[in-house]
A and B are shown apart, each in its own frame.
Chain A
């Protein structure tokens, strides 16, 4: 048993002449929530599906929970959980029926009732799947992927199409799993989702990793100049500075206390992300890449 959940070295995969994944290295620790960020066609889904054992790779070393997914068996599958992008195929079955059924696939399943409770579907136990809302279906997906008590959970764009409240509720579910020690690999194009959930994020574009860091330090975000804004006598003013504290102290002295309309901001994760993606060239989706 090692502390590494996922280790990837020099991963490559092309569809015809187009490289979708062009030499990726990754290392995810046990218990970590790791997010892959990138535009559509960046190589996220190809990478994740290789790790899940769904797709072949052309080159590179991959170990997921110490096993090469290409030759993995049912015992390895019992240790991982997968939430796919697609959802909602159980139509006429009830939530409880589906979760109980999936529990039977696993050697040491969790209690289906407790799992349904944990994903917040207790009130919907007896409801048929087709009557669930989009957010509730996604939570059913999560219930199915965690009922086997996985060590590692893959979440592929789990909240696409959610309203803000449903997204917050979903984050709470994920936070609960993390507290239980589950390692999570998340792909998303919502930056605030990565910021809310991930310990570390990797930004991926055109099949390559541009940076891997904690959301707070991605792209040297914490060392970027701060912007101080306030309401001057002849309109709004702003100053970019490496020493915002001194700027604010000076302003305060000049105004004799309170500075009108004062704010101090650092670049958001989105600002950093967009400048990284922009600098790495235009996005040309490779075929076979849906996310």
Chain B
């Protein structure tokens, strides 16, 4: 019997580098494919990508009152909707899409090829980044054109937008991949994921002003990343005077960073422990 020495690939650093290089190269190819698939599929464009825009238009048109002297509810809602949009394009899309792929044997097929397994995740991350960027761009365009929301003017605020988005997307992406191990069948995934996403949006200060929610509800929401992502977005889009109306009287950006980072680590650990390439071996 011949023994394939390639089995101990990790022992050869030059081959390890070559493998890492091919993981990035193939990951990039997978990313292109995922983006193509995402934007060609009408249901993902309408129900995942455009849904936050539809909500923005509806809520922005219904509620017109001021919640602070220089802040309208619409402005508050835009910040929340950008956070919710990122939550949708990362957590919700992956938590629904991956169980379906597992069910249909997409993952099994890939696991049967020499594709580096990390390339699959790189591809998903590229898809999430591209669709999230596009989501922010569309939401900001609609908000600035129709709902009297102004783009951040200082470099500091753009920087905050960037790191809050990246950290938030990272946390929600990893949680989405981890959550994808829960549904036993792909077709049950939407029914499990949608309520989770909706409830989080209701209690995290997207649809309602966070400080007006009951205390216990605020405490529950504070355990999850969406509340902090939303708060981070308010620090970008609302005037500094509004910080006083936040629960702690400040934007708490250090806390935003901390909680999101904890969810990144937690999500990563869950992914590594629970991810399955095949349906359950019964």
Contacts and interface: CB of A to CB of B under 8 A. Distances in A.
Nearest to A98: B33
B36 A93 contact: yes
Contacts of A92: 36-37, 40-41
B104 interface: yes
Contacts of B112: 52-54, 77, 80, 82, 84
Contacts of B9: 73-75
Interface of B: 1-4, 6-7, 9, 19, 25-26, 29-30, 33, 36-37, 40-41, 101, 104-106, 108-109, 111-116, 278, 281-282
A215 interface: no
A105 interface: yes
Given A91-B37, A288-B282, A104 B26 contact: yes
B2 A1 contact: yes
A171 interface: no
A74 B41 contact: no
Contacts of A7: 1
Interface in A236-291: 287-288
Those 3 A-B pairs whose CB atoms lie nearest each other, nearest first = A86-B105, A75-B6, A92-B40
A82 B109 CA distance: 8
Contacts of B106: 89
B108 A54 contact: yes
Given A54-B278, A92-B37, A63 B1 contact: yes
Interface residues of A, number: 44
A105 B6 CA distance: 16
Given A52-B112, A77-B113, A89-B101, A101 B4 contact: no
A85 B112 CA distance: 13
A230 interface: no
Contacts of B114: 74-75, 77-78, 105-107, 148
30 contacts: A1-B2, A2-B1, A2-B2, A7-B1, A54-B278, A66-B2, A66-B3, A72-B7, A73-B4, A73-B7, A74-B6, A74-B9, A74-B115, A76-B6, A76-B7, A77-B114, A82-B112, A85-B105, A88-B104, A91-B41, A92-B37, A93-B36, A93-B37, A101-B30, A101-B33, A105-B113, A105-B115, A106-B113, A107-B114, A148-B113
B116 A74 contact: yes
B282 A287 contact: yes
